[in-house]
Every structure is written in structure tokens, then in C-alpha cells.
Amino acid sequence: MFALIAGIYSSTIPPPLVFLFLGLDNSGKTSALESLKVLHKAPGPSIPLNLIRPTMGVNNATFAINGRSLTVYDPAGRIEGRRMWGGYYKESHGILFVVEGLSEASTGARLEESQLVFSTVSASVPNKPIAIFVNCPDLERRSEIGKLVTEYFRVSFYEGRVKVFLGDVISGYEGKKEGAGEAIDWLVKMEALGMFNDGDDDRPK
Ligand SMILES: Nc1nc2c(ncn2[C@@H]2O[C@H](COP(=O)(O)OP(=O)(O)OP(=O)(O)O)[C@@H](O)[C@H]2O)c(=O)[nH]1
Ligand SMILES: [Mg+2]
């Protein structure tokens, strides 16, 4: 009887959504994750911004947004770490791609490398939503850098599958839904609407 009730109960609870945080090393993936844990009151401690170190391997966290449970994987962004990214594509419902929007990092080789990595990721997951979070603490230059990334990453080419969000991670730590917070809400909404669902049967529904 207990097994029957437990079975009925578990069949009414949707499995967690899975989101993958990608982007170059030092772009702010782990900071974004930790700020989202604060914003959404995730169980357990969150790491303060000044104690976050480069990721070796993969971080993960599970928390809820509007009652829907979600799991985030946050792998290392270094070149060696990028090799493991592909192992998470299939089970992911969407991707949050972080671009470092510091003035000096948003031009030249770093932006070029970020765009190249982004285009490889978007080609590898052709039917899943990708939120680009431009992590730009410089409020005055934020919209200019956001426009630059939008054009350079050819966001309009993706016809709604890719969307840019501007902000920094401090706002999440302060409980404000801006940048990464809005990006993750958009990913949840895209999944709820069944947008860009590639019908991958192995992925949790
Ligand atoms: N002040 C400030 N510092 C930030 C912000 N975002 C990231 N940082 C800092 O930037 C550094 C790199 O951030 P991480 O979150 O470790 O970057 P990552 O993308 O996870 O890097 P890897 O783990 O190496 O792939 C950390 O020292 C953060 O404290 C921000 O919005 N404001
Ligand atoms: Mg990290």
C-alpha cells in the first residue's frame, strides 16, 4: 500500500530540470551559481564571492524556483575542463552561457574565444534554449557591452532560442533578480512552454 501511494506521489512530482552553466574560465559561472543559491534560498551554505576559486571538475546544486526543482551543473571552464562538457548535453534542458563583461575582457582575444566556444556549444545542442548572461559589474558600460556581445555572438540568427541577459552576480547575492536570476527564469519558462524540445527520450521530463 505504502509503495502504491509512494508511486502515485512520485509520479505527480516532475523530476528536476537540469541546466548546464558554461563559459570561459573566470567568466563567473560558479559566482552566478552561488548567487542563485542565495537568491532562491537553496538548502545548505553558499560560498561568498571573495572565497570562490577556479572550479576543478564540476560543481552542482539543486534548488527550487516557484516550486519546480532544478539541478545545475557548473563544470570548469579551462580548456582541459571543456572536454567534459559534452557529457552533460543530453540530460540538460537548457544552458546558461556566461560571458565575462568586464571592460578589458570584453574586447579582443577573450571575446573572440568566448564566441568560438559559444558557437561550438550552440551547434552541439541545436534545439535547447541558451541564455547568455553577460556578467558586467560596470553598470555604466553594461548595455554597451551587452550590445557588443549580442552582435558579435549573432544572437538574432537563433530566432529566439538564444537570449542575452545583463547584470552582475552581486545582485543575486543581494536578493535581486537581475542578470543570472532573469536568465534562469527564462530557461524554466522555455522548458515549461515546450520550446525547442528535441524529444530526447533519455532526458528527464
Ligand atoms: N566583483 C565581482 N567579481 C566577480 C563577479 N563575477 C565573478 N567575479 C569574480 O571573478 C572570479 C571568477 O569567477 P568564477 O565564478 O570562479 O568563474 P568561473 O567561470 O566559475 O571560472 P572557472 O571555474 O575557472 O571555469 C572570482 O574571483 C569571482 O569572485 C562580479 O559580478 N563582480
Ligand atoms: Mg567555476
**What mean pLDDT do residues 128-147 have?**
93
Confidence grade of residue 15 (pLDDT, cut at 50, 70, 90): confident
Strands 17-22 and 68-75: parallel
| ipTM (interface predicted TM) | 0.95
First to last CA, the chain: 26
From the CB of 102, is ligand 1 less than 6 Å away?
no
Question: 192 φ, ψ to 5°?
Answer: -60, -35
pLDDT at position 196: 74
- Domains of the chain are 19-55+73-192 (3.40.50.300)
State yes or no: 148 annotated in a binding site: no
4 CA from centroid of ligand 1 (Å): 47
72 CA from centroid of ligand 2 (Å): 12
The rounded percent of the chain whose pLDDT value lies above 70 is: 87
Instruction: For 134-171, give one letter per residue: b (16+ CB within 10 A) or e.
Output: bbbeeeeebeebbebbbebbebeeeeebbbbbbbbbeb
Degrees, nearest 5: CA angle 139-145-149: 145
Instruction: Give the amino acid at 1.
Output: M
Say if residues 132 and 162 touch (Cβ distance below 8 Å): yes
pLDDT at position 121: 97
Q: Best mutation site among 20, 29, 30, 31 for ligand 1, i.e. most ligand atoms within 8 A of its Cβ?
A: 31
- Kindly report, residue by residue over 28-62, the tens digit of the pLDDT: 999 999 999 999 999 989 999 999 999 999 999 99
pLDDT at position 115: 95
Confidence grade of residue 200 (pLDDT, cut at 50, 70, 90): low
pLDDT at position 199: 53
The rounded percent of the chain whose pLDDT value lies above 90 is: 70
Instruction: Report the chain's mean pLDDT, rounded to a whole number.
Output: 89
- Kindly report, residue by residue over 78-137, the tens digit of the pLDDT: 999 999 999 999 999 999 999 998 766 556 888 999 999 999 999 999 999 999 999 999
pLDDT at position 4: 59
pLDDT at position 106: 58
Confidence grade of residue 63 (pLDDT, cut at 50, 70, 90): very high
